[in-house]
Structure 1
Amino acid sequence: MHEMRRLGSVQQKIPCVFLTAVKEEQSRKRDCQQFQVVATENVNPVALEANIDGAFATEKLDGTCCYVTVYNGQPYLWARLDRRPNKQAEKRFKKYQHLHKSCKGFMWNIEEDFKTVPETWIPAHRVKHHNGHPVPDEHGHIPGWVPVEKDNRQYCWHSSVVDYKAGTALVLRPCCDNEDMLEITAVPLAELQEQTLELIGTNVNGNPYGLGSKKQPVHCLVTHGSIPIRNPPPVDFQQLRSWFRENPDGRVEGIVWHCSDGTLIKVHRHHLGLRWPEEDTCLGNRPVVIRVDAFDSTDLFTSFLTLNGHCFSRLQDIHFEL
């Protein structure tokens, strides 16, 4: 069995390793946001309390967040779906945010201000509740999940990486016998129970890792915390910035530190005023072996089956014979 360090799951927004400040300029991350959140050089006390220097540094992946938990009596893949405010409430919230340069103190009407979500929707872990209703975070969202059902076209790329009949998912992870190499393999969903993962690939977030093509889309799941950062830099603003800009291992979206007390801390290139995506990502350039055994399964699984045992010198070179 593949040995894997069990790390904290991503159910909430993760705090930045540095204290942040608000800058009067267009956000690089959110089109509708007229201010930019940037890191100062001061380390966040939350990170210091959690002993960040002794934490395990992992690659922050650029995809969409997923979760594995039980639905209809079996382990299921769930897609991230934040419950968002309706137009009127969003307008009120933005106006308040613009005036105060903060959202602290804004009052929501939980019953009336939010869009409806599917009946199967569940709030993420540790979402606060008030009078039995989940309460929004500082962005005005209520993080949550919906099960990925095969007939839902909205989640067709999520669907392509799971086979509920066989109870498996296509997962990208480091090889157990060679840490420099990655493998794509079918993992039982039961083994991924209560973990969060990132769906990456051709049709997710602009495909920063260069996976597949429109003709031959490639998608897979990566368990959060499963891709270690090799020789991570110290938690120091200038050293981190230099590492992201100059080190080949720094061609990543960010770092997530897994602290021994379960606290998760992150830094994103945007926090340091650096662009993303890079043309040549660290992950996209890693060698990969395909280990998908025979089954009667979905199209993507079947495609990977034709490549079983095949090695590619770079993840972005994966292609199927037509």
Structure 2
Amino acid sequence: MATRKWDGTCTRLDEGGAWWARREVKPGKTAPDGFQLVQEDPVTGKKVGWEPVAQSAFAKYHAQALAIGNDYFRRGTYELLGPKVNGNPDGFEQHILIGRGWAPFSDRLAYDKAPRDYEALRTWLHARPHEGIVWHRDPHAPDAGMAKLKARDFPRTRRELTPEKRSCTTTRIPSTTSTGRAKNSPSTPPTTICGSGMASTSA
């Protein structure tokens, strides 16, 4: 099953009712108290794991999200989203927690039909405003595997990155007299007009 990838920060509710926040620890840095290691990159030395959410940088916003529906949450992972998280690209008005695999029905339909070959998937992802796509082995099982891809993982072509060239022409626009009649003057500076209609004057 494929769903959209939300651009927030990951949190987890364990079987004992404790909340955790995803935490990365760079090489040479000390892990925070209570850190639970999940994975360590043998090449870069970067560690990824969980820290108690109460001591994370998102503790305040997580508490606000919990206050909306504390009785709803069950063991599993949730994406923390809202005005103070990752620039809030999805435009949420308050902080919320979205369960793993959840997305609006229209998104689920679209992502279920996402292409699987490289070029088609690259184009498909860049055509959408979302962060990426997640394939779930079982979105309802907290410990089931998943595969994530971000749109930024796919490089854009040079043509996509190059601004569209505009055709421009330089002309001398005559000034006007107090009666509104055109007055040609060699001192009038030339004006450059481009395809968008924007004009710039060169002194």
Q: TM-score range by the shorter chain?
A: 0.5 to 0.7
Q: Which has the higher contact order (CA 8 A, sep 6+)?
A: 1
**229 and 154 in structure 1: CA distance in 2 versus 1, 3 angstrom threshold:** closer
* Structure 1 equivalent of residue 141 of structure 2: none
- Superposed displacement of residue 77, structure 1: 1.9
Looking at structure 2, the residues matched to 153 and 263 of structure 1 have their Cα atoms a distance apart, in angstroms, of 27
Q: If the length of structure 2 is used for normalisation, what is the TM-score? A: 0.61
- Give the share of equivalent positions with the same residue, in percent: 29
**139 and 197 in structure 1: CA distance in 2 versus 1, 3 angstrom threshold:** farther
Looking at structure 2, the residues matched to 241 and 152 of structure 1 have their Cα atoms a distance apart, in angstroms, of 34
Hey, which bits of structure 1, 4+ residues long, moved more than 3 A?
135-139, 151-154
Q: Which structure is larger by alpha-carbon Rg, 1 or 2?
A: 2
Secondary structure at the aligned position of 1:143 is classed as strand
* Structure 2 equivalent of residue 205 of structure 1: 86
Secondary structure at the aligned position of 1:196 is classed as strand
- The CA RMSD over aligned residues, in Å, is 2.8
- Superposed displacement of residue 245, structure 1: 4.2
- Superposed displacement of residue 154, structure 1: 5.6
Give unmatched runs, 5+ long, in structure 2: 139-143, 157-203
Q: If the length of structure 1 is used for normalisation, what is the TM-score? A: 0.40
* Structure 2 equivalent of residue 254 of structure 1: 132
Q: Does 1:144 align with 2:49?
A: yes
- Superposed displacement of residue 139, structure 1: 4.1
CA contact (8 A) 2:114 2:124 kept: yes
Looking at structure 2, the residues matched to 268 and 153 of structure 1 have their Cα atoms a distance apart, in angstroms, of 24
1:82 maps to a residue whose letter is E
Looking at structure 1, the residues matched to 74 and 90 of structure 2 have their Cα atoms a distance apart, in angstroms, of 23
Residues 187-266 of structure 1: pairs in structure 2 closer than 5 A: 187-188=70-71, 191-193=73-75, 195-212=76-93, 218-227=94-103, 229-231=108-110, 232-246=113-127, 250-259=128-137, 262-266=144-148
* Structure 2 equivalent of residue 83 of structure 1: 25
- Superposed displacement of residue 204, structure 1: 0.7
* Structure 2 equivalent of residue 272 of structure 1: 154
- Superposed displacement of residue 137, structure 1: 5.1
Looking at structure 2, the residues matched to 206 and 62 of structure 1 have their Cα atoms a distance apart, in angstroms, of 9
**153 and 268 in structure 1: CA distance in 2 versus 1, 3 angstrom threshold:** closer
Looking at structure 2, the residues matched to 154 and 200 of structure 1 have their Cα atoms a distance apart, in angstroms, of 10
Give unmatched runs, 5+ long, in structure 1: 1-55, 87-113, 128-134, 164-169, 171-185, 213-217, 275-322
Looking at structure 1, the residues matched to 122 and 7 of structure 2 have their Cα atoms a distance apart, in angstroms, of 19
2:2 maps to a residue whose letter is A
